[in-house]
Amino acid sequence: MTDMVELARAPAELEVPATLGALGDIASFVLRLAGRAGLGKGPAYRIRLAVDELATNIVMHGYRGGDGRITVRGRSGPGRVQISLADSAPAFDPVEGCLPPAPGVPPERRRIGGLGIHLALTSVDEFSYVRRDGRNISTLTVNAEGTDPCPPRP
C-alpha cells in the first residue's frame, strides 16, 4: 500500500441518497478532488465518467429505485485520485457485470446497461471490489499519466 502514502490520509467523504438527483453532487465531489490532484481534463473526465456510471448502476439496478444510501470517499495526491463507492444493495461485483461491446451484434440491439460498467472499468487505471459487512465497496483510481485503453482500436 505504498501508493496510499502519496494520497491524503484523511479521505473526503460524501453521503447521498441513492437517487439520480444525487449524481450532480457526486460529480462535483469527484471533480473537486481531481482538481486538487492537478489532473488534466482527460483524466478528470475519466474518473468522473467511471464514478458516474457505477453510481447510476447502484441507483437503477442495485437498489432498484428503492431507498438507499451511497457513501463516496475520495483521496487525492499529486497526479492521482482514488474514489470508493459503498452501498448496501445486494452483492454485485461490477467486473462480473461488465459487458464489452459485442462485435457481431448491431448496436441498436445491444444491451447498453452493461456497457456503462464497461465504460467505467475501461476509464480507470485501477479497480477493485470487495463485499464487506453487507456492503459493496468499489475502489477506482485514475492517474494523471494513466493510459486510456478505451476505445479498443480496430
Partner 1 sequence: MPLSVSLSIEGDTTVIELAGELDAKTAPDFHQTIEKAAGHGTGTVEIRMAGVGYMASAGLRSLVFAQQKVANHVTIKVVGAIEPVSRTIRTAGLDRSIVLSDE
Residue closer to partner 1 by CB (options 7, 117) is: 117
**Rounded least distance, CB 95 to partner 1, Å:** 17
Are 100 and 26 in contact by the 8 Å Cβ rule? The answer is no
Q: In what order do the strands lie in the sheet with 126-132?
A: 12-17, 69-77, 80-87, 135-143, 126-132
Residue closer to partner 1 by CB (options 108, 133) is: 108
* CA dihedral for 96, 34, 76, 148, sign (positive or negative): positive
For binding to partner 1 (CB under 8 A), which residues are involved?
20-21, 23-24, 27, 42, 45-46, 48-49, 52-53, 56, 59-60, 101, 103, 106-108, 110, 112-113, 115-116, 118-119, 122, 150-152
**Rounded least distance, CB 17 to partner 1, Å:** 13
Which among 124, 121, 126, 100 is positioned nearest to 112, based on CA atoms? 100
**Rounded least distance, CB 122 to partner 1, Å:** 7
Residue closer to partner 1 by CB (options 35, 42) is: 42
* The residue type at 143: N
Residue closer to partner 1 by CB (options 7, 94) is: 94
**Rounded least distance, CB 133 to partner 1, Å:** 28
| CA 20 vs CA 3, 55, 107, 108: distances in Å | 33, 9, 25, 24
Which set of grid coordinates corresponds to residue 120?
A: 467505467
Residue closer to partner 1 by CB (options 4, 112) is: 112
Which among 69, 78, 55, 102 is positioned nearest to 6, based on CA atoms? 78
**Rounded least distance, CB 79 to partner 1, Å:** 19
